[in-house]
Amino acid sequence: MSSSATALTVVGIVADEPARALLERTLASSGDELTITDTLADGLARVSTEVPDVALIDVALGQNAGLAVIHHIRALAPHVAIFALTHQSRLELGSAAMALGATGVLVMPLTGDDVLTSLAGLRTRRAEQEHVREVERRVQVLRAESRLFARVAELAECDTRREASEKLLEALAASGARRALVYLPAAEGARELLRAAASHPDAEAPAFCEDLELLAFAERRGLRVLRMALRRELGGLLLVDGLLEALAPDVRETALATLASQCAATLGLIAAREDADRGGMKDPRSSAYTFAYFVDVAGREIDMARRHRRRFALATISVHPRAQAAPDAVDPTLSTVEQVLGAVRDTDVLARVDANEFYLLLPETNGLGAHACRRRVLDRLLAAPGSGRYDTGVGVAVYPHDGGDLSRLLRAARHRAEVCRVSVVERLGLRALGLAQIVDALLAEPPGRPGAPMGVEAPRVVELPTTDVVGIVLAAVREATRGGSGLIVLTRRAGVGIGGALGGESSRGGPAKQVHAVDVSAAPGCGNIEVCALLAEHGTYAFAGRAEGHSVRAVHAADPLLADLLIQRLAQVSGARFGD
């Protein structure tokens, strides 16, 4: 009996009943798949659609028309093996069939041995060809694997682990990976992981997380997780799909384990070089401080803030080149440092983490001061020459509201910087629009747009009675300003609205809470607009919509850029300045 690897698909065009019965018994016992018919037209149609391995044709059918069918099959499916069936008295038909391209001749009445012997050579040739193809495929895969390992070894020349991570993804894609992400430890000894590179955008891929959260994400996405570790030292996690799939399972597992170890060694070498560069106080490429110095100063600031019950803030600044953007003639590191230092105080500490990320320590700074600093820094970065080539994000965190240690504070600030990069303000180009146009653009945006943040920062559309809307906005304002300090700017119009309901909030929580109501009814297109923008110790909140009768259709989100923009537009309408 033939194995499944050498089983053949056979189409028989035979009218002789004894021959049909013998073919069915013989080929069933050999494990082959037989389709049989007694008409030439049906048989030719089956061969053209099914493209079998073998065609058995009684060439005497239709007054020797079977010979013409052989010619047609050879033209339609040249790789099909054709055996002509003829009686002893009509051997000249067999010779004619061979001349037309038949593989062989079977003389009727048939025997099982004749059929199996004729197909045995075909099975052998097929098995040999499959073996050759498998060997060639294995050689190609092993060559690709060798090229992959060689490219990983070349990553040791990279200046930073982030740069190495991005080039690693290029190497994986060239080796067949459909998708890959690289996560690195956020800091030495930290449990949190930072997304260093991703081959495809994914709004759900965490930018900063612990390993359990990342493992859950990988399981949802069907990604294989490779631990890039040497002994107990974790160099990062590689999430990948579709890599080296052509290898046999056992060989693939060995290759992936080797790849993970090689990546760990390469990243470890780069990390050691980065640590050596950070050993001093100043970054050698710019006038920013080193990461090591930032950690030392931040640790002392946390101790003093905890001892004396003071507040301070920190910010993370990310500047990533956009895909397919032309290279900038200006060093982005030097340009970023220059712009940030021009927007902050002399007492603030700016540190360079790598070419794409910076940390900023803001001593003696509360939440509103941190928001004001974030706005100044982002405005300068976006106005700098060549800013269109980069996705820029600035996120702030305040002690102790956002965390009591450096790791938690950085995690909160990084998340907000990531949100800033994908803010609805940037996606919809709202900076160039007036107040009425901003509201209309927000209401027109379809929900769940790709690239949007997935958390509370994502804009959500609500359509509720005015009294319910007032309750929602009032609850958000009181929650955000429970620490006392806050800036609230909102619209005021005739009738029931959020302006009248929140007017009394200035008396709640002391003088640190600033509430400004702006009459926008005279502004073009703003007669029925309802807007509330909030900046506070505990976060930000933005609400913008239009009143329609006794209901309001609006968008609300905890998006700092949107809150900033709404405050700026309300300030333009009123001719006042808020939050400077």
CATH number of the domain that 388 lies in? Answer: 3.30.70.270
CATH code of the domain in which 446 resides: 3.30.870
Residues 202 and 88 placed together within one structural domain of the fold: no
pLDDT of residue 1: 39
Query: Region 89-99: what's the mean pLDDT?
Result: 85
- Does residue 127 fall inside a structural domain? no
Using pLDDT thresholds of 50, 70 and 90, give the confidence band for residue 570. very high
- Does residue 254 fall inside a structural domain? yes
> Which residue, of 402, 421, 440, is where some domain finishes?
421
576 or 217: which leads in pLDDT: 217
Residues 379 and 270 placed together within one structural domain of the fold: no
What is the number of structural domains in the chain?
Answer: 4
CATH code of the domain in which 83 resides: 3.40.50.2300
Residue 525: domain span: 432-574
Helix (H) / strand (E) containing 9: strand 9-13
Residue 276 has pLDDT above 80, yes or no: no
Do the beta carbons of residue 357 and residue 543 sit within 8 Å? no
CATH code of the domain in which 196 resides: 3.30.450.40
Residue 396 has pLDDT above 90, yes or no: yes
Question: Which residues, 6+ apart, have CB-to-CB distance to 163 below 8 Å?
Answer: 354, 355
Residues 312 and 391 placed together within one structural domain of the fold: yes
Residues 261 and 306 placed together within one structural domain of the fold: no
Residue 147 has pLDDT above 60, yes or no: yes
- Does residue 128 fall inside a structural domain? no
> Which residue, of 371, 402, 421, is where some domain finishes?
421
Residues 224 and 177 placed together within one structural domain of the fold: yes
pLDDT of residue 189: 65
- Does residue 518 fall inside a structural domain? yes
Residue 550: φ, ψ to 5°: -100, 15
Residue 317 has pLDDT above 90, yes or no: yes
> Which residue, of 421, 440, 462, is where some domain finishes?
421
β pairing state of 486-492 and 192-198: unpaired
Q: How far apart (Å, rounded) are the C-alpha atoms in residues 556 and 474?
A: 13
Query: Region 36-51: what's the mean pLDDT?
Result: 85
- Written as one string, the DSSP assignment of 552-569 is EEEEEE--HHHHHHHHHH
According to DSSP, residue 110 is labeled P
pLDDT of residue 2: 41
Residues 75 and 157 placed together within one structural domain of the fold: no
Q: How far apart (Å, rounded) are the C-alpha atoms in residues 209 and 194?
A: 7
Residues 150 and 243 placed together within one structural domain of the fold: yes
Residue 264 CB burial class (10 angstroms; 0-12, 13-18, ≥19):
buried
Residue 550 has pLDDT above 80, yes or no: yes
Residues 188 and 319 placed together within one structural domain of the fold: no
Q: Please, what is the average pLDDT of the chain?
A: 83
Helix (H) / strand (E) containing 361: strand 357-362
Q: How far apart (Å, rounded) are the C-alpha atoms in residues 429 and 437?
A: 11
Q: How far apart (Å, rounded) are the C-alpha atoms in residues 166 and 14?
A: 63
Q: How far apart (Å, rounded) are the C-alpha atoms in residues 579 and 257?
A: 54
- Does residue 121 fall inside a structural domain? no
Residue 3 has pLDDT above 50, yes or no: no
Residues 464 and 559 placed together within one structural domain of the fold: yes
Residues 542 and 417 placed together within one structural domain of the fold: no
Does residue 433 sit in helix, strand or coil? coil
pLDDT of residue 421: 85
Q: How far apart (Å, rounded) are the C-alpha atoms in residues 440 and 434?
A: 10
Q: How far apart (Å, rounded) are the C-alpha atoms in residues 67 and 63?
A: 10
- Does residue 15 fall inside a structural domain? yes
Q: How far apart (Å, rounded) are the C-alpha atoms in residues 102 and 114?
A: 16
Residues 326 and 405 placed together within one structural domain of the fold: yes
Residues 300 and 413 placed together within one structural domain of the fold: yes
- Does residue 118 fall inside a structural domain? no
Q: What is the distance of C-alpha 286 from the center of its chain? A: 32
Using pLDDT thresholds of 50, 70 and 90, give the confidence band for residue 450. very low
Lookup result for tokens 């940037």: 426
Q: Which two tokens stand for residue 510?
A: 């002391």
Residue 345 has pLDDT above 60, yes or no: yes
